Amino acid sequence: MGGIGGYMTVRFVSAKSAEPKDSLFITCIARGESLKVLGEKGLCFRSPDGQEDLCRPDLVTDNPTSLPEQDLIILGVKGYDLAAACSAISSIVTPKTVIMPLLNGVDIYERIRASISSGIVLPACIYISALRQEPGLVVHVGGKGNIISGNDPRHKEFDSAPLISLMANAGIPFEWQSDPSPALWKKYLFIASYGIVTAMSGKSFGQILESPELSAATQSIMKEIYNIAAAKGVELPDSIVMSSFENARNFPYETTTSFARDVQVPGKPNESDIFGATILRMGEELGIPTPAAKAAHGAIVQN
C-alpha cells in the first residue's frame, strides 16, 4: 500500500458510516515497517490543505494468500510489481471478484489477464499525486483523486451500480464509461511523454517548457503515442498533443515524475517498461515509427 492505496483506504474507511452495517471489511497489504506501523497505529493521511486524518483498516497483512476470497481488489502498485502482485492475489479471486488497477499504462488489462483469467478486470485510471512519505503516513500532494473506469471487455454484463454507489459513499469522484480507452490513452499520452523526458533529462516540467529542444522531444513522443492509439482504433481529438503539452503549465515549475525520481536512484526499479519499452513494442507491432521515444528510452536505459 503506497500513495494510491492510502488514498483509497482512507476514503473506503469513511464510507463505512454510509454503507449497511458490517458490509465493508477493508484489508491493506503492506510490508516491512509499514506493516508494523499500520497494524499498531493505523494510517495517517494528509490532505493537500494539510489536514490529517487517522484511520484504521480492518486488517493489515503482508500475505494476500492468507485472505478469504475478495469482492473488490484495488491494485495500486508500480508497473514493475504488477506481475508479482497478480500472482499473489490469484488465489483470492473468484469469478465475481472485481479487480480495479490504478497504475500507469495502457496495456495493464492485458498484463493482468496474462496472469489472472478469472474475475472482472475494470480498466481504470486515477488522477492524483500521492506518496507514502514514511511508514504509516501518506501525503496527498495534488489532483482530485478522481477515477475513470469502465467495462471489462470480457464482462460487459457487469452491473456497475453497486461500485458507483460505493465510490459515491466514499467521496471518491468516479466516472463510469462504457469504453474508458480514450481516457486511459489521454492520461498515458501526458504522463508517458513527460515521464520519459523528465527521466532522460533530469529536468522539471518548468524547465522542459523553457527548453525548445526538450519541448520538441516531448511533443514528438506525444505524437507517436497519438499515432499508436489511432492505429489501435482509439479516437482522440486532433488537438490532444498540444493541449496535453500545455497542461504541464498547470503544475508547479519544479514538478517532476515518479519515473524520473526512480531513475535517479542507482539500482532502484523503475517503470521504463511501462513507458518507453511499451511505446516501442506497440509501434513495432503496428508499423508506427517511434524515433523520439526510441532515442529518449535508449538514453535512459544506457544511464
Q: Which domains does the chain have, with CATH numbers?
A: 3-178 (3.40.50.720), 182-302 (1.10.1040.10)
Radius of gyration of the chain (CA): 19
Out of 9-18, 47-56, 181-190, 259-268, give the one with best mean pLDDT.
181-190
Neighbours of 93 (CB within 10 A): 20
The CA angle 126-131-135, to the nearest 5 degrees, is: 135
Supply the pLDDT for residue 141: 87
Three cell numbers written together for 118: 478469472
Half-sphere exposure of 251 (CA within 13 A, CB side): 24
Average pLDDT over residues 181-204: 96
Q: Is the pLDDT of residue 285 over 90?
A: yes
Distance of CA 240 to the CA centre of its chain: 20
pLDDT of residue 121: 98
Q: What are the tens digits of pLDDT across the range 210-230?
A: 999 999 999 999 999 999 999
DSSP 108-136: HHHHHHTT--SSEE--EEEEEEEEEEETT
The pLDDT value recorded for residue 23 is 86
Say which residue, 211 or 258, is predicted with more confidence: 211
pLDDT in tens, 166-183: 999 999 999 999 999 999
Rounded to two decimals, the pTM is 0.93
Which pLDDT score is estimated for 142?
85
- Arithmetic mean of pLDDT over the chain: 94
Q: How confident is the model at residue 18 (pLDDT cuts 50, 70, 90)?
A: confident
